[in-house]
């Protein structure tokens, strides 16, 4: 039976293996994300994200060929960017965390490694305002083109009017209290 | 005055032209397919064999130009609100609107969301508000009957300006 069909359940990936591989290939000392509740998680500085991702995808012991999700969280001064990678061949999963500043945050686009990252990064740009360098088509994907601001940022002000439509919720007064 | 009861032969109905026209209009309410969210599934179910909107003369149209009734079924986002307004403008008068479900009535569950319109009545006039999340097919059929009652009452030849 081929390894793809042999293991249907998720295989727990030893994070030390990944850390050693990255150290051997790139000479980078990465750390594990201690705040992760479960699963393997890796913290990558934004300047070396692209090279680390290339290793994670191409290395014969890792083969992360799928970018399952790319999302982010605005926390204080920081923008936490999460990349969930999966390997069908080994049935293992890893989460890559990359922290950029919330104001004017920039990171390399991984759409040259996984073309599926195109829309995921557009969504993160749309909702959080992170700029992805080298993205082929970085514009809003869900909100209207002329929308102001990025709604999932913590400092976002709720609009009460859009394109001449008054959109004040009837319970807005309660929200202000 | 002589009673009109049993005065004429069978098969003759006395009415006025407005009412006869109104009956015709009320029983040919062609509704525009406008499923925006989960209410759209209930709308499809209402068109299906169990509730069968066809028996009220209501058949779905895929274009606003041929529609008399717009069933706004689902959450209207601000991005969609402009399109709703445009599509309503493309419908020929007389035109009617059913606001189906809590989202369309007031924003419902998603009221105060950054992208959600707090009630479709902020952009187009609504004839019947149908509560529910989502309303059952029977409720939508009842809303269509309510629109029919309204259509029958309206004078089509002399508009009340």
B90: CATH: 3.40.50.12280
> How high is the pLDDT of residue A92?
86
> Starting from the edge strand earliest in sequence, which strands make up the sheet with A41-43, in order?
A31-32, A41-43, A92-101, A78-87, A66-75
Report whether B96 contacts B150 (CB < 8 A).
Answer: yes
Judge whether B77 lies within some domain.
Answer: yes
Judge whether B59 lies within some domain.
Answer: yes
* Residue of B79, B106, B112 with shortest CB distance to A144: B79
Judge whether B24 lies within some domain.
Answer: no
Domain that holds residue B66: 31-136
Judge whether B159 lies within some domain.
Answer: no
Report whether A151 contacts A143 (CB < 8 A).
Answer: yes
Q: CA A94 to CA A64: how far, in whole Å?
A: 9
Here the ipTM equals: 0.71
Rounded to the nearest 10°, the torsion over CA B140, B144, B150, B151 is 160
Judge whether A126 lies within some domain.
Answer: yes
From the number of C-beta atoms within 10 Å of its C-beta (0-12, 13-18, 19+), residue A165 rates as middle
- Tally of domains within chain A: 1
| Chain B CB within 8 Å of residue A37 CB | no
* Residue of A143, A162, A171 with shortest CB distance to B112: A171
For A176, the closest chain B residue by CA position comes to B112
pLDDT tens, B99-122? 999 999 988 888 888 889 988 988
Mention every residue, 6+ apart, whose C-beta is less than 8 A from residue B160: none
Judge whether A108 lies within some domain.
Answer: yes
Helix (H) or strand (E) holding A132: strand A131-133
Domain that holds residue A72: 3-144
pLDDT tens, A28-78? 888 887 777 777 788 899 889 999 999 999 998 888 999 999 999 999 899
Report whether A70 contacts A92 (CB < 8 A).
Answer: no
Average pLDDT of A79-83?
93
């Amino acid at each position: 039976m081929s390894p793809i069909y042999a293991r249907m359940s998720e295989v727990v990936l030893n994070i030390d293996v990944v850390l050693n591989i990255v150290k051997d290939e790139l000479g980078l000392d990465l750390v594990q994300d201690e705040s992760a509740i479960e699963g393997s998680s890796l913290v990558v500085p934004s300047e070396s994200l692209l090279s680390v991702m290339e290793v994670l995808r191409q290395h014969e012991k890792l083969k992360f060929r799928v970018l399952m999700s790319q999302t982010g969280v605005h926390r204080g001064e920081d923008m936490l960017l999460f990349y969930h990678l999966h390997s069908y061949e080994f049935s293992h999963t890893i989460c890559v965390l990359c922290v950029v500043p919330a104001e004017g945050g920039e990171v390399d686009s991984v759409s040259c490694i996984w073309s599926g990252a195109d829309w995921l990064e557009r969504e993160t740009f749309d909702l959080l305002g992170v700029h992805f360098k080298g993205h082929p088509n970085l514009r809003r994907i869900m909100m209207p083109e002329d929308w102001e601001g990025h709604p999932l940022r913590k400092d976002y002000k709720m609009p009460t009017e859009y394109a001449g439509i008054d959109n004040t919720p009837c319970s807005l007064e309660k929200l202000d209290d | 005055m002589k009673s009109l009861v049993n005065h004429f032969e069978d098969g003759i109905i006395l009415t006025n032209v407005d009412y006869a026209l109104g009956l015709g209009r009320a029983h040919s309410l062609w509704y525009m397919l406008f499923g925006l969210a989960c209410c759209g599934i209930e709308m499809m179910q209402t068109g299906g064999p169990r509730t069968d909107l066809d028996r009220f003369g209501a058949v779905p149209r895929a274009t606003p130009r041929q529609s008399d009734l717009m069933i706004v079924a689902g959450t209207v986002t601000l991005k969609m609100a402009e399109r709703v307004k445009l599509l309503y403008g493309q419908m020929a008068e007389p035109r009617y609107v059913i606001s189906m479900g809590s989202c369309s009535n007031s924003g419902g569950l998603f009221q105060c969301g950054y992208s959600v319109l707090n009630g479709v009545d902020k952009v187009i006039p609504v004839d019947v508000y149908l509560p529910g999340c989502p309303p059952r097919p029977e409720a939508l059929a009842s809303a269509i009957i309510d629109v029919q009652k309204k259509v029958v009452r309206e004078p089509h030849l002399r508009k009340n300006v």
